[in-house]
Amino acid sequence: MIRVVLPAHLRELAHLDREVELDVVGQATQRSVIDALEASYPVLTGTIRDPVSQRRRAFVRFFACEEDLSHAAPDAPLPDAVATGAEPLFVVGAMAGG
Amino acid sequence: MGGVRVLVGTRKGAFVLSSDTKRESWEIAGPHFAGWEIYHMKGSPADPNRIYASQSTSWFGQLVQRSDDGGATWRPVGNDFRYEGVPGTHQWYDGTPHPWEFARVWHLEPALSDPDTVLAGVEDAALFRSTDGGLSWHELAGLRGHGSGSAWQPGAGGMCLHTIVLDPSDPDRVFVAISAAGVFRTDDGGETWRPMNRGLRSEGIPDSQAEVGHCVHRLARHPSRPQVLYMQKHWDVMRSDDAGESWVEVSGDLPTDFGFAIEVHAHEPETVYVVPIKSDSEHFPLEGKLRVYRSQAGGNEWEPLSKGLPQANCYVNVLRDAMAVDSLESCGVYFGTTGGQVYVSADSGDSWAPIVRDLPSVLSVEVQTLP
């Protein structure tokens, strides 16, 4: 079980009032977690990564275990604490603009 | 019964303003999609309960929302805007090739007769169509495939397709305007396109009368005379009497012919409205006085309309999609400002009153005249 904490705009879009719990097939990576998230909540498709290029949107960040994982490869394994559900993966709207 | 519903897109959400035909007392609903940029909302001419909205942010990309009950409730529909084939490149600001990349939907234009068919003008400039109520989108790639596409260059606001004009007498004819490429027209439902910029002169490009490259800000036309088009260009107010084949300047005695919005009276095809803006570097009204200018002669002769509008210390802008008219017997004219005011004139512009004063910066205003 992977836990994901979404920013307010995306929680509202998906009608969520708390963190998401996802069953991820295979290794827990940024890509597999977002795949599972988009499968469970299709309205979020395209909001975290570009639907064509599959690249993380420029103003979206991934944090976990007090580390910034945003620049890690999409298929790099997430920390064990995230993979086991001990710690959540935070999807964060970057501090930018007004 | 009857009345009007004003659809207001802002930098931080959507608002729906409703009134009876007197247009004196208003109900304000919203914000819908709070915190998101709503570049445009527009209702279907065939079904006023069907409204489409473009919702985006720089953080989380593009969504399209649809209402089937006149804006009371909404649901997200399709947001996959995928260019057809290999997208190729257009010119970047520095003249280098830049890959075509989807950024956002600037304008949604529902078809005149089918609520499920809607066109979307997007940045980077392209035209998409949905025939299933916004669930899926397909590019009309003949526009970008026009031979000049690789030479298009963005305007200061991005390379956006911001204006879509349908022809009520010919469903296969569509006009679009792109900053900074110009006007294009299809006569075969979007398969092939021709530039329609003869007569435009733009000082900011190497060949001032080039076939493409003009920063057209907005087009308007009256439904009874689809051959006649009006244009607010970066500078210059223009008119075409031959469906865009040629243009003549009708700025006439305007105090400045820079601006963004242009609109035509609902019942008088020769009555045109613009909001003159000081210059391309100072995007606010002259002398701090907010004035709409009206021509009742199809251009050239303009009169200022200021009754009820701020006449001191006003430094707002009125963006290209932020002006609209209703079709009540006494034509209503509406516009929104970057200062968050939405004004209405229920007497064709003679006098104005604010509907609401303190919304977020207004990006677009559309009006539905309800039965």
Domains of chain A (ranges plus CATH)? 2-93 (3.10.20.30)
Tell me if B79 and A51 make a contact (CB, 8 A cut-off). Answer: yes
Residue A97: its pLDDT value, please? 58
Whether residue B351 is contained in a domain is answered as no
What distance in Å separates the CA atoms of residue B253 and residue B170, rounded to the nearest whole number? Answer: 34
CA distances from B39 to A25, B312, B334 (A): 38, 29, 17
Q: Do B239 and B221 meet the contact criterion of CB atoms below 8 Å apart?
A: no
From A51, A52, A59, residue closest to B59, measured CB to CB: A59
Range of the domain at B231: 29-315
Domain CATH code at residue B256: 2.130.10.10
Which residue in the block uniquely carries the two structure tokens 């947001």?
B79
What's the total number of domains in chain B?
Answer: 1
pLDDT value at B324 more than 70: yes
pTM: 0.96
From B61, B82, B102, residue closest to A47, measured CB to CB: B61
Tokens (6 digits) for B185: 């027209």
Provide the b/e sequence for B46-64 (b: ≥16 CB within 10 Å): eebebbbbbbbbebbbbbb
pLDDT band of B1, cuts 50, 70, 90: low
Provide the shortest C-alpha distance from residue A61 to chain B (in Å): 10
Output the tens digit of pLDDT for each of chain A's 98 residues: 999 999 999 999 999 999 999 999 899 999 999 999 999 999 999 999 999 899 999 999 999 999 999 999 999 999 999 999 999 999 999 887 55
Whether residue B11 is contained in a domain is answered as no
Mean pLDDT, chain B, integer: 96
Q: Which residues of B touch A (CB under 8 A)?
A: 35-36, 57-63, 76, 79-80, 82, 102
Whether residue B129 is contained in a domain is answered as yes
**ipTM of this complex:** 0.93
Which has more confidence, B146 or B330? Answer: B330
Whether residue B330 is contained in a domain is answered as no
Residue A45: its pLDDT value, please? 96
